[in-house]
Structures are given as structure tokens and as C-alpha cells.
């Protein structure tokens, strides 16, 4: 699975180099044009096939954008204490609850580092109930003092989670499935047969710090419609009150109708759900109102772009180790491929 390589590469927002290298290698042979833009986005074009027998033939002029972001959440070095511990801040949304006890790598040389807290034995009453905030945590790389720490990890050095990709049977685990799962779906789509339209693939940067890469990618591509491919929250763990689980593992690709960043284009949602129903591909509608994706930037590009988000449900995103179902992944690739092959200009006509 290309997901293994993508997951194990590091790419905290603004520092996507390693992931970009994996992506470029993976798609080089399967795209007609590949370029890296000024932000660091990988933009690939795969021309449509001229297949006159196909019912969708002759629609090569539709410009379809598929995007997946390469970056992941992480930390950045912002200071030191005199004993050589690194002070850090979050890059993107990091849940401070999971930082104590974490293994990290710091900087381009992947210097190992750890985050620990005051031992349980020394906690005063109630002290153990509060989650230490990131401002009060330090990264320990074993440096002997401030000077050594500064030399090894200059200000602005990134730190990232380290997790080996594992196959657990019907599921796989690893880091940064948000959004290497989307990247892997996009690679699979590029690797397959040509569609009847020009496919513009964007592997974007800096999604986690505000959908930055997708904005310029969408401007450059000028698409007629766009699909953001994601790894999204699954919240199917047992809980007191069983409210909506956002998405559930094993129930198929999650289609977004609305989240905090955009309202999905209802025609594209319809295309996806009709295709799934027709072909008996399992799917789920993501609980509305939670999270945001590159579609939030893409749909506002130029004069507006009809957009939708399709995601592989992932448990524990933004943590050192996430988990997804291989069936969900394969069904996401299949749903995308089948839906795209049914996409025509008619799909995007507004019926009054």
C-alpha cells in the first residue's frame, strides 16, 4: 500500500518535502504533466481519454480538480530553557491531552526527542486531573544546556510524531492518516485508467494551518468542480450517550454535506450517493458541522467552484497513531472512480 510510505514520511505544515518526494515518485509515470508550484503544492495533470464509444465521450473540456493535503500536524521549536529543554508550540490542531509520553523526531536529521511530565508519584492532589498545556511542556532531546539545544534544534525547527505503519488485519494503523489517506486515494485514482476529462490532481500544502495550499492550487487549476479527498474523524468509541458518531469505521466512504468550512455542492453529493446506491458501494454521510477541509478554500476560488469532500473514516486523527479500515479505503477509491466516470457537464447544470 502506498499509504505506508506516505504515512511514514514526515510533513508538518510548511515542511512537506519528504511527503512531496514520495508523491512525486508515485505519480510520475501516471500523469502527463507534473509541477510543483511556489507554495510547494504538487499539481499533476492526467489528460482525458478520447474514447468515442463511451457515453461520456466528448466531455474532455470539463476541468475536474481532486485534492488531498500532504501536511500533518506537529510542533515547532520556539525557545529553550537553561538546562537544554526545548520549548515548543503546536503547528495545526494538536490535542494537548495526548502529548505526555510521546516520542518525537526533531528537525531534518530526525533527532529523537520525548515529552514527559512530572511523575505520578510527585503529583499533588488534583494536579493529576488537569491536562498540561503545550506552553508548560518541553521536548527533551538529551541536550546538556541551552547552547547545545540551540545548535541541535535552531528556532523554527519542526518536530513530528514517529509511528510505524502496521497492518492489523481488516484495518491499518499509522500516523498522519489525515490526510495521507486522501493522498493515497488520489495516487490510486491517478494510477488507474484515464477518465474522459482532464484530471487535475493537487497534493496540497498547509491545510492544517488554514487551507493555504488549496487556495492557490484552485486558483491555478481553475476547475469546473472539485473533490477534496480526506481522512476524517470517526467517533465510534463507546460513550455514555450514543449521539451521532461523526463517522463510523467500516461503513464506507464519508460524504460531507456541510462542515465548518463549506456547504457541499448538492449536485456532486447527489452524483456520489446515486453512484453508491446503484453499485451497492457502502457510504455514510458525515455528521454535519464538524471539521473543515481544503474544499473550504477551493469552493471560493475565482468565481466559485462546486465542491464536495469525500473521506476515509479514521479513528484518532491528529494523534501519533490513527486507524482506518482497508475496505473503507478501497471503497473510497471505487466510489470516486465510478462517480467520476459518470460526471458530465449535465451533472453540473442547474435545474430550476
Partner 1 sequence: MEVIPLLKQLSQIDGISGYEEPIRQLLRQTWKPFVDEMHEDGLGSLIALKYGTQPTGPPESTETSRPRLMLAAHMDEIGLMVTGIEKGFLRIGRVGGTDRRALLGLEVVVHGQRDLPGIVATRPPHVLPKEERKKVVPWDKLFVDVGLPPEEVGRLITVGNLISIRREMVELKNRCVAGKALDNRACVSAITLALERLAGMHHASDVFAVATAQEETGLKGAITSAYGVEPDLAVALDVTFGKHPGIAEVEAFPLGDGPTIGIGPNFHPQLVTRLKEVADAHEIPYQMDPIPGRSGTDAWAIQVAREGVPTALLSIPLRYMHQPVETLAAQDVERAGRLLAAFIAGLEAGFLEKLAWDREEGGSERTHDT
What span, in angstroms and rounded, lies between the C-alpha atoms of 112 and 159? 9
What span, in angstroms and rounded, lies between the C-alpha atoms of 247 and 323? 13
Sequence-ordered list of residues with C-beta below 8 angstroms from that of 108, at least 6 positions apart, any chain: none
Cβ-based burial of 17 (10 A; exposed 0-12, middle 13-18, buried ≥19) = middle
Taking the complex as a whole, the smallest distance from the CB of residue 298 to partner 1 amounts, in Å, to 21
Taking the complex as a whole, the smallest distance from the CB of residue 196 to partner 1 amounts, in Å, to 38
Nearest 10 degrees: Cα torsion 249, 251, 255, 256: -50
Comparison of 21 and 326: residue with beta carbon closer to partner 1:
326
C-alpha distances out from residue 311 to 196, 267, 316, Å: 23, 17, 14
Comparison of 185 and 233: residue with beta carbon closer to partner 1:
233
- 72: annotated active-site residue: no
Taking the complex as a whole, the smallest distance from the CB of residue 8 to partner 1 amounts, in Å, to 14
Q: Give the SS3 label for residue 39.
A: coil
Q: Which of 8, 207, 208, 230 is catalytic?
A: 207
C-alpha distances out from residue 286 to 88, 124, 179, 249, Å: 33, 42, 16, 12
Residue with cell 511556489: 38
Question: Which residues of this protein are in contact with partner 1, per CB under 8 A?
Answer: 81, 83, 85, 95, 97-98, 100-103, 111-122, 128-132, 136, 138, 140-144, 148, 152, 163, 166, 168-173, 233, 235-239, 246, 250, 290-291, 315-321, 323
For the beta carbon of residue 300, count every other beta carbon within 10 angstroms. 18
Alpha-carbon Rg for the chain, nearest whole angstrom, is 21
Taking the complex as a whole, the smallest distance from the CB of residue 247 to partner 1 amounts, in Å, to 11
Taking the complex as a whole, the smallest distance from the CB of residue 346 to partner 1 amounts, in Å, to 37
Taking the complex as a whole, the smallest distance from the CB of residue 215 to partner 1 amounts, in Å, to 23
Comparison of 58 and 132: residue with beta carbon closer to partner 1:
132
Comparison of 271 and 312: residue with beta carbon closer to partner 1:
312
Q: Exposed e or buried b for every residue in 220-250, given b needs 16+ CB within 10 A? A: bbebbbbbbbbbbbbbbeeeeeeeebbbbbb
Grid cell at residue 192: 488507474
Comparison of 235 and 338: residue with beta carbon closer to partner 1:
235
Closest CA to 203 of 19, 42, 336, 46: 42
Cβ-based burial of 169 (10 A; exposed 0-12, middle 13-18, buried ≥19) = exposed
Taking the complex as a whole, the smallest distance from the CB of residue 319 to partner 1 amounts, in Å, to 4
Comparison of 51 and 140: residue with beta carbon closer to partner 1:
140
What span, in angstroms and rounded, lies between the C-alpha atoms of 19 and 4? 11
Comparison of 234 and 336: residue with beta carbon closer to partner 1:
234
- Catalytic residue IDs: 207
Amino acid at each position: 500500500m502506498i499509504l505506508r510510505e506516505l504515512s511514514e514520511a514526515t510533513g508538518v505544515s510548511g515542511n512537506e518535502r519528504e511527503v512531496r518526494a514520495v508523491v512525486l515518485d508515485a505519480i510520475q509515470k501516471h500523469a502527463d504533466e507534473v509541477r510543483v508550484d511556489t507554495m510547494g503544492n504538487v499539481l499533476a495533470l492526467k489528460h482525458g481519454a478520447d474514447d468515442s464509444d463511451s457515453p461520456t465521450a466528448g466531455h474532455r473540456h470539463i476541468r475536474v480538480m481532486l485534492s488531498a493535503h500532504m501536511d500533518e500536524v506537529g510542533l515547532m521549536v520556539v525557545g529553550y530553557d537553561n538546562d537544554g529543554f526545548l520549548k515548543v508550540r503546536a503547528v495545526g490542531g494538536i490535542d494537548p491531552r495526548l502529548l505526555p509520553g510521546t516520542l518525537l523526531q526533531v528537525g531534518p536529521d530526525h533527532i529523537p526527542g520525548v515529552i514527559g511530565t512530572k511523575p505520578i508519584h510527585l503529583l499533588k492532589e488534583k494536579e493529576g486531573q488537569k491536562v498540561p498545556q503545550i506552553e508548560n511542556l518541553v521536548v527533551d532531546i538529551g541536550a546538556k544546556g541551552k547552547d547545545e539545544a540551540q545548535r541541535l534544534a535552531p528556532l523554527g525547527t519542526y518536530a513530528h510524531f514517529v509511528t510505524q505503519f502496521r497492518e492489523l488485519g481488516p484495518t491499518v494503523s499509522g500516523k498522519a492518516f489525515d490526510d495521507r489517506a486522501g493522498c493515497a486515494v488520489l495516487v490510486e485514482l491517478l494510477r488507474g485508467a484515464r477518465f474522459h476529462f482532464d484530471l487535475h490532481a493537487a497534493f496540497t500544502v498547509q491545510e492544517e494551518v488554514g487551507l493555504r495550499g488549496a487556495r492557490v492550487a484552485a486558483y491555478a487549476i481553475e476547475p469546473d468542480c472539485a473533490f477534496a479527498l480526506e481522512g476524517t474523524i470517526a467517533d465510534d468509541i463507546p460513550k455514555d450517550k450514543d449521539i451521532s458518531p461523526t463517522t463510523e469505521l467500516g461503513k464506507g466512504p464519508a460524504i460531507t454535506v456541510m462542515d465548518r468550512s463549506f456547504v457541499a455542492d448538492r449536485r456532486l453529493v447527489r452524483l456520489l450517493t446515486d453512484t453508491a446506491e446503484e453499485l451497492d458501494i457502502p457510504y455514510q454521510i458525515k455528521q454535519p458541522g464538524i471539521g473543515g477541509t481544503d474544499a473550504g478554500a477551493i469552493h471560493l476560488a475565482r468565481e466559485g467552484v462546486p465542491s464536495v469532500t469525500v473521506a476515509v473514516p479514521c479513528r484518532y486523527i491528529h494523534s501519533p497513531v490513527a486507524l482506518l479500515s482497508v475496505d473503507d479505503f478501497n471503497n473510497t477509491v471505487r466510489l470516486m472512480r465510478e462517480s467520476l466516470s459518470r460526471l458530465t457537464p449535465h451533472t453540473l447544470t442547474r435545474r430550476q
